[in-house]
Each structure stands twice: as structure tokens, then as C-alpha cells.
Amino acid sequence: MAIRRAQVSIDRLRRRGEGRKTKAIPADETSCPRCGSQFGADELRRNHRVCGACGHHFRVGGRERLDQLAGFRDWDELWPDMRAADPLRFTDLEPYVRRVEKAEGKGIGEALIAGDLEIDKVPCIAAAMDFGYLGGSMGSVVGEKLLRCCDRAVERRVPFVVVTASGGARMQEGVLALMQMTKTIVGFEVLHDAGVPAIVVLAHPTTGGVWASFAALGDITYAEPEALISFSGPRVIEQTTREKLAPDFGLSETQLANGQVDAVVDRRELNERIGRSMSILSRDASAGPAPAVAWARDRAGQAARALPGFSRKFLSRVRREEGEEV
Ligand SMILES: [Zn+2]
């Protein structure tokens, strides 16, 4: 009896599978993916898109992020009409211009929204990346807006706050996108040289060319809970190295332990934290020392007075040699 060979072609199996309905996944933006709690759209918006039951942080668009930072008061958008050109006439699965049109169809102008606003009553320039626009990727418009924000902050002597959420440089703009890394670093250098505070908030995900440029250059770097902050995503690293990574790889809590982040802050407390940091960093030197510095000096004085006589004498000699008034 002849043995019948089994004809198995992966392509054929794939073709057979095409057109079949896959298992429906609920695409409801108002149900928590972690604990399943249901919220009204307004309730979620009021709660800064954080699950009231388990604390899961939902994704936030650029404009809504600035609304949150402004405490839901009015703010003025800067350069809303700036659009990218397509000098490379780039086409992958579909032309770049078509992708831009689709993203604009969602009502988002570009992957970075900037504005003049007040956070916790402190005037500043703020910008937020929008992951919904081509994965929050950094193209020439994002770089240009960011640099203009830095210039404006220096001109007005107000702090600059930026919230990142990005997959990295925009592939469709090729080397023009990579150039934005240098450009944004120059912007932050201008801020640092002028002594203007720069605060960066890392939201999920902050990866690639954004994390490798300006996102790592803030005077203060906050991160949202459980945000992925890494140059390459864990999937790419696992595929390349063929090694399993720890489940907490690249999360903001891990980056806090690694010293890459100053604090992991719940989104609902972000305004107060940013406001307080801006007030301390913007403090005029002529107004005297900050309360924390005054407290530390006072404690040092108390400690010195409590020392035995010979130690006090030694301390006053050292302070005299350093030119300090005793
Ligand atoms: Zn939840």
C-alpha cells in the first residue's frame, strides 16, 4: 500500500486562515485593561485617565495632557499649523503622506503639542507627545517645535515642561528624523546655559531616539508608574539576544532603582509636584536661600554649638580658612 505524503504548506494554511474572524477583543477605551473596572468617559477624564480602582494609567493624548497640566483651564496652543514635508517621498506599506493624513483624521496635528500655560499657578511653556500620531515618533516638526519651546522659555525666563510618549525617531523621515536628536539636545543645552529649569515627565512608552536625546536631559526627570523607558523595547532585545529578560525590564520603577529617574509619580499628583519643583528651581537668588537650604544651615549651626569646645575651635578655624564668616 502506497504511503500518502502529507502536503503541509504554511503559506497555504495562512491563506486558508485569511478572512476568518478572529476572536473579538473589546476595544472599549473606558474599561480598565488590568482590573476590568468600567468608567464613564467624563469620570475617566476628570480622574486624569487613571483607574480609580487599581491605579492603572491609561494612555493620554497630547492636548488632553496639556489640559490636565493646566488644571483643565484654558491654555494657548503654539504653532498648531506646523506640518511635515515629505522630501524623501517615502513609501513603505503605504506612502508617508497617506499615513500623515490618517493621523490627522483623528484630529491630532502632530506628535508634539505645545502651549503657553500655568501648572499649579506657575507660568511655563509645556509640550506633550501624542502616541496616537504615528506612535509619537519624532520627525522634523517635533524637533522644530521642541527647539522653539526651549527658545521661548529662555526669552520669557519661564520653565519648560515636556511629557514624552514615543516610539523614537520617525522612520519615514530617515536621516532628517535622526537629526532632530541633535537639534533637541541643543535646545536643552540652551536652557541649561540660560539657567532656565527643564522638567521632563516620561510616560509610557519612552523609547528609541527620544530617550536617547532630550528626554534624558531634564533638570528633574519624573516618570509615570509602570511606563516602559528603554532605548530598545524588551521584545526586540529578546529577539536579538535570544535571552529572556526580567519582567520588570525597562519599567520606570526599575529605572528609578538604576538612578535614571528622579521619582515615579502618580499622574494625579503630577501638577503639584511639577509646580513645587518649578517654584524651587526658578527661585530668584536675591530672595535668599530656599527653605530647605535655610533649614539645613540652621541645623548645621545647632549641631556645631553642641560640639565640645576643642571641636568648635577647630571648626571655626576651618571655616575661617575657607573665607566664611564665623
Ligand atoms: Zn483598574
Average pLDDT over residues 265-281: 95
CATH number of 58-282: 3.90.226.10
Residue-level pLDDT at 5: 55
Cβ proximity of 44 and 30 under 8 Å: yes
Ligand 1 center to 254 CA (angstroms): 22
Q: How confident is the model at residue 309 (pLDDT cuts 50, 70, 90)?
A: confident
Ligand 1 center to 129 CA (angstroms): 24
Q: Is 35 helix (H, G, I), strand (E, B) or coil?
A: coil
- Per residue in 151-168, pLDDT (tens digit) is 999 999 999 999 999 999
- Do the strands 112-119 and 76-78 form a parallel or antiparallel pair, or are they unpaired? antiparallel
How close is the Cα of 53 to the center of ligand 1, in Å? 5
Q: Find the 268 Cα to ligand 1 centroid distance in Å.
A: 15
- Is pLDDT of 41 > 50? yes
State the DSSP H helix or E strand holding residue 313, giving kind and residue range, or none if neither: helix 309-321
Ligand 1 mean position to 270 CA, how many Å?
Answer: 19
Which helix H or strand E contains 182, and what residues bound it?
Answer: helix 174-194
168: left (phi over 0), alpha (psi -120 to 50) or beta: left
| Cα 26 to middle of ligand 1, angstroms | 15
* Distance from Cα 48 to the centre of ligand 1, integer Å: 13
Q: Which region among 245-249, 254-258, 285-289, 293-297 has the lowest average model confidence (pLDDT)?
A: 285-289
Cα 29 to averaged position of ligand 1 atoms, centre (Å): 12
pLDDT at 324: 61
> How confident is the model at residue 316, as a pLDDT?
77
The DSSP-derived string for 129-159 is: E-TTTGGG-B-HHHHHHHHHHHHHHHHHT--
To the nearest whole number, what is the mean pLDDT of the chain?
A: 88
pLDDT in tens, 67-88: 999 999 999 999 999 998 898 9
Residue-range domain boundaries for the chain: 58-282, 287-321
pLDDT of residue 326: 46
64 exposure class (CB count in 10 Å sphere: 0-12, 13-18, 19+): middle
Average pLDDT over residues 29-54: 92
**Grid coordinates given for 322:** 575657607
Query: Which triple of cell numbers denotes residue 246?
Result: 526580567
Provide the pLDDT for residue 289: 62
**CA 242 / ligand 1 centre spacing (Å):** 33
Centroid of ligand 1 to alpha carbon of 287 (angstroms) = 45
Q: Say how far apart CA 129 and CA 113 lie, in whole Å.
A: 6
Report percent pLDDT > 90 for the chain: 72
Answer whether residue 7 shows pLDDT above 70.
Answer: no
pLDDT at residue 124 tops 80: yes
CA of 34 to the centre of ligand 1 (A): 5
Whole-number Å distance, alpha carbon 79 to ligand 1 midpoint, is 36
Q: What are phi and psi of 154, to 5 degrees?
A: -65, -45
Answer whether residue 13 shows pLDDT above 60.
no
Q: What angle do CA 177, 181, 247 make, to 5 degrees?
A: 95
Query: Under a CB-based contact definition with an 8 Å cutoff, are residues 142 and 113 in contact?
Result: no
pLDDT at 243 over 60: yes
pLDDT at 281 over 50: yes
CA of 43 to the centre of ligand 1 (A): 13
* Centre of ligand 1 from the C-alpha of residue 68, in Å: 20
First to last CA, the chain: 108
pLDDT for 94? 93
Q: Which residue bears the cell 521632563?
A: 200
Count CB atoms within 10 A of the CB of residue 174. Answer: 14
Residue 219 CA to residue 88 CA, distance in Å, equals 36
At 26, the pLDDT band (50, 70, 90 cuts) reads very low
Helices (H) and strands (E) in the chain, counts: 12, 8
Mean pLDDT, residues 45-59 taken together: 95
227 C-alpha to ligand 1 centroid (Å): 15
How far is 109 from 63, CA to CA, in rounded Å?
Answer: 10
- Long-range contacts (CB closer than 8 Å, 24 or more residues apart) made by 216-220: 216/260, 217/185, 217/188, 217/192, 218/162, 218/188, 219/192, 219/281, 220/262, 220/277, 220/281
| Cα gap 129→153, rounded to integer Å | 18
pLDDT(61) > 90: yes
Q: What is the average per-residue pLDDT within 286-306?
A: 71
Instruction: Report CA(207)–ligand 1 centroid distance (Å).
Output: 25
Per-residue pLDDT band for 8 (boundaries 50, 70, 90) equals very low
